[in-house]
């Protein structure tokens, strides 16, 4: 399919990087369309492990062109660091990385403000990644942001920067915190424009050309629908449209360009940062998922909270994003659990509901209604066909597919490239 979208259906960390890496082998271009360096996408190739925050995960595949679209917030420090560290590991991005001239830039003061705002929120802190995401998107929406094109031209830069900083300083003054110094930010960022210049392009034109030319384009979503600014657990969300709906806005390709929508879900649920998490398990099962699944944030190193598969969250994501197929990740992590629970609906004040309520307080009061499945002891790492899975694991996967209402197209049973079960023909009907 010429234009495919891979995106997260939960609260991020579903394993998007791993799937993008696999699909990138059959793609000409890999594109980030939203988010920024708050993402942490991990790709394992043999003995090598790569964690990318800003570059598309396609960067690891030598033949691909990588695009950072206009909808992304670009932190040049992270970009330079990732380009340099890949170069040091023998991966050269010259000529195959394009950064949108319209993308907004994460400036040092945006990162400072991210931390300051969190401090001011006190007990209501969102638990952001401190990557300056909220303040940068905030500046974009209130039309005081700084774009890549501005960085390239000192006179434009000098004109735009004080406008962004002025508003933030007003907040800092009210909180009796030290103001941001325009001159210091100028000094800190001097040279960024020149370093960025070789990568900067009108990526809208690059993508339109590629699309019209029938190139295979892979869209790499960051975060997940649970963190979507509109469809997530607001205000405990990120600041962008994480699903395929973010693609036209964040790349300039028309909505009709999208051919295939592949949703990524983990076989259980995790969340990092603050916010409601109805199926969280604070007992030994959740702890085991965390340990077996190495559930630590790839960006911040924070331990992720773990819990049972939340069918309400995932079903809502499948429905709102028009998912064609699903990749089920980390099934192997569940080995050794005696019993597995799947949340099929929530109960709120004695009433069953099958969509997440709008208000955080209500969502916190929701009690998950579970269906229970027997677990399995076997290590799944060697499974390459559906029939290699123990019968109980097959039952569990079928139940998730039924709940989601869309086909599971592949199952991952380990971080290494080859550890997956392809299900191009769907899950076999008989056992």
- Residues assigned a catalytic role: 13, 41
Left, alpha or beta for 155 (phi > 0: left; psi -120 to 50: alpha)? Answer: alpha
Nearer to Mg ion, 296 or 370 (CB): 296
Which residues lie closer than 8 Å to 351 by C-beta, 6 or more apart?
none
Question: Would you say 356 and 320 are in contact if contact means Cβ atoms under 8 Å apart?
Answer: no
Nearer to Mg ion, 8 or 276 (CB): 8
Pick one of 9, 13, 111, 185: the residue that binds ligand IMO (CB under 6 A). 13
Left, alpha or beta for 302 (phi > 0: left; psi -120 to 50: alpha)? Answer: beta
Q: Count H helices and E strands in the chain, helices first.
A: 14, 20
For helices 182-189 and 154-174, angle between their N-to-C axes, nearest 10 degrees:
130
Structure tokens that stand for 338 in this block:
């005696």
Would you count residue 38 as binding ligand IMO (CB under 6 A)?
yes
Pick one of 4, 6, 9, 13: the residue that binds Mg ion (CB under 5 A). 13
Sign of the Cα torsion 40, 44, 50, 52 reads negative
Helix ranges restricted to H, 252-331:
284-292, 311-321
Q: How far apart are CA 330 and CA 41, in angstroms?
A: 15
Would you count residue 34 as binding ligand IMO (CB under 6 A)?
no
Would you count residue 200 as binding ligand IMO (CB under 6 A)?
no
Pick one of 3, 5, 6, 12: the residue that binds ligand IMO (CB under 6 A). 12
Q: Which does 70 bind (CB under 5 to 8 A by kind): Mg ion, ligand IMO, none?
A: none
Q: Which does 131 bind (CB under 5 to 8 A by kind): ligand IMO, Mg ion, none?
A: ligand IMO
| Size of site (CB under 6 A) for ligand IMO | 24
Among residue numbers 76 through 95, which ones bind ligand IMO (CB under 6 A)? none
Q: How far is the CB of 137 from Mg ion (least distance, A)?
A: 18
Nearer to ligand IMO, 240 or 335 (CB): 240
The one-character DSSP state at 234 is: T
Nearer to Mg ion, 8 or 145 (CB): 8
Structure tokens that stand for 270 in this block:
């995790």
Among residue numbers 404 through 423, which ones bind ligand IMO (CB under 6 A)? none
Would you count residue 133 as binding ligand IMO (CB under 6 A)?
yes
Site string for Mg ion, 287-306 (x = CB under 5 A): -----------x--------
Would you count residue 220 as binding Mg ion (CB under 5 A)?
no
Would you count residue 127 as binding ligand IMO (CB under 6 A)?
yes
Left, alpha or beta for 363 (phi > 0: left; psi -120 to 50: alpha)? Answer: alpha
Q: Which does 272 bind (CB under 5 to 8 A by kind): ligand IMO, Mg ion, none?
A: ligand IMO
Looking at the DSSP bridge assignments, the partners of residue 31 are 67, 219
Structure tokens that stand for 124 in this block:
């209501």
Would you count residue 134 as binding ligand IMO (CB under 6 A)?
yes
- Where does this chain bind ligand IMO (CB under 6 A)? 8, 11-13, 38-41, 126-129, 131, 133-134, 222-224, 227, 238-239, 272-273, 298
């Amino acid at each position: 399919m010429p234009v495919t979208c891979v995106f997260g259906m939960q609260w991020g960390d579903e394993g998007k990087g791993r799937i993008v890496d696999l699909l990138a082998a059959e793609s000409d271009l890999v594109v980030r369309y939203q988010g920024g360096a708050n993402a942490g996408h991990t790709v394992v190739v043999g003995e090598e492990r790569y964690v990318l925050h800003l570059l598309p995960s396609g960067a690891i595949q030598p033949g691909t062109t990588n695009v950072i679209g206009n909808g992304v917030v670009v932190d040049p420090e992270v970009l330079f660091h990732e380009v340099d560290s890949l170069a040091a590991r023998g991966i050269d991005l010259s000529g195959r990385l394009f950064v949108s001239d319209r993308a907004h830039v994460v400036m040092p003061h945006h990162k400072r403000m991210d931390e300051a705002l969190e401090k001011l929120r006190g007990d209501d802190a969102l638990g952001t990644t401190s990557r300056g995401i909220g303040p940068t998107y905030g500046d974009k929406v209130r039309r005081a942001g700084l774009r890549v094109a501005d960085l390239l031209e000192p006179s434009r830069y000098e004109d735009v920067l004080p406008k962004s900083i002025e508003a933030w300083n007003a907040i800092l003054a009210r909180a009796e915190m030290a103001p941001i110094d325009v001159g210091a930010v100028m000094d800190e960022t001097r040279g960024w424009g020149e370093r960025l210049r070789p990568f900067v392009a009108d990526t809208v034109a690059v993508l339109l050309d590629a699309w019209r030319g029938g190139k295979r384009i892979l869209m790499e979503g960051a975060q997940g629908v649970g963190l979507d600014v509109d469809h997530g657990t607001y205000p405990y969300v990120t600041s962008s449209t994480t699903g395929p709906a973010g693609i036209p806005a964040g790349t300039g390709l028309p909505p009709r360009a999208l051919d295939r929508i592949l949703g990524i879900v983990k076989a259980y649920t995790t969340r990092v940062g603050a916010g409601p998490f109805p199926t969280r398990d604070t007992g030994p099962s959740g702890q085991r998922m965390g340990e077996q699944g190495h559930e630590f944030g790839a960006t911040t190193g924070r331990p992720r909270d773990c819990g049972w598969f939340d069918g309400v969250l995932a079903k809502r994501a499948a429905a709102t994003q028009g998912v064609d197929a699903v990749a089920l990740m980390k099934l192997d992590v569940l080995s050794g659990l005696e019993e597995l629970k799947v949340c099929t609906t929530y109960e709120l004040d004695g009433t069953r509901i099958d969509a997440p309520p709008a208000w955080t307080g209500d969502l916190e009061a929701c009690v998950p209604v579970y269906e229970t499945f027997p677990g399995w002891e076997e290590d799944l790492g060697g499974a390459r066909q559906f029939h290699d899975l123990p019968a109980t694991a097959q039952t569990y996967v079928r139940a998730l597919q039924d709940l989601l209402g869309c086909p599971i197209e592949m199952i991952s049973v380990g971080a290494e490239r080859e550890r997956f079960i392809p299900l191009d023909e769907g899950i076999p009907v008989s056992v």
